[in-house]
A and B are shown apart, each in its own frame.
Chain A
Amino acid sequence: QVQLQESGPGLVKPSETLSLTCAVSGYSISNGYYWGWIRQSPGKGLEWIGTIYHSGSTYYNPSLKSRVTISVDTSKNQFSLKLTSVTAADTAVYYCARAGIQLWSGGFDYWGQGTLVTVSS
């Protein structure tokens, strides 16, 4: 059974960098599939942040592209999110998820439980 678990600070100060890691178990990232980050701000809908392949190829939400970096560490079977220059608008529950085996196809079929990140001084 594929399982994903997000980890990282729950509180980040404005203008600083948000860093989260998604540990994957039950499946080797190196075997394929794309992996992504999605967030949900309080009272709002889901927002795609970006997607990565085990080779390191990345695709980002154009509205966040200038602040986002997603990376993968196949030796630890995990992938990570960095979001710079955060503001209160970045307060959200952040989810990591497995995307399709082919880019853009298959939807996000396995999700982490999500982690709340609050941006506040």
Chain B
Amino acid sequence: QSALTQPRSVSGSPGQSVTISCTGTSRDVGGYNYVSWYQHHPGKAPKLMISDVTKRPSGVPDRFSGSKSGNTASLTISGLQAEDEADYYCCSYAGSYTFEVVFGGGTKLTVL
């Protein structure tokens, strides 16, 4: 069981927007602005899409955006494209008792 909870799957048609949620607790997502999101195509290395809740690395399309409210972080992908179909993972620092990094279980995005 993953420390962060993500929906197993989401889907959308080309051009639409989808949002993937990532729910944790006050000791991880809610307690720190250290949430990151990764796009993972099977057989390839994961790719950083968002860091520190809202920061988009150079080269990542501005169709990808991140946000957080309380213990839930979200990744929104607007203007869906076929190449966006992949697995997406959220990740957060988890402090308080131990110093560690936790991942969500992953969400499969299907572009219809």
Interface positions of A (Cβ within 8 A of B): 36, 38, 45-48, 51, 59-62, 95, 97, 100, 104-109, 111-114
**Given the interface contacts A104-B93, A111-B45, does A48 sit within 8 Å of B103 by beta carbon?**
yes
Identify 10 residue pairs between A and B in the complex whose beta-carbon atoms are under 8 Å apart, listed by A's number.
A46-B89, A59-B100, A95-B45, A104-B99, A105-B52, A107-B50, A108-B46, A108-B91, A109-B57, A113-B44
How many residues of chain B are within 8 Å of chain A by beta carbon? Answer: 28
Indicate if B102 sits at the interface (CB-CB under 8 A): yes
Instruction: Tell me whether chain A's interface is mostly helix, strand or loop, or mixed.
Output: loop
Interface positions of B (Cβ within 8 A of A): 2, 32, 34, 36, 38, 40, 44-48, 50-52, 57, 89, 91, 93, 95, 98-106
Contact between chains at A114 and B106 (CB < 8 Å) = no
Q: How far is the CB of A36 from chain B (nearest CB, A)?
A: 8
Q: Which of A61, A106, A111 contacts B52 (CB 8 A)?
A: A106
Contact between chains at A48 and B51 (CB < 8 Å) = no
Cα–Cα distance between A38 and B89 once the two chains are bound (Å): 13
Contact between chains at B51 and A106 (CB < 8 Å) = yes
Which residues of B sit under 8 angstroms from A114, Cβ to Cβ? Answer: 45
Q: Which of A104, A109, A112, A113 contacts B101 (CB 8 A)?
A: A104
Contact between chains at A108 and B48 (CB < 8 Å) = yes
Contact between chains at B105 and A104 (CB < 8 Å) = no
Contact between chains at B45 and A104 (CB < 8 Å) = no
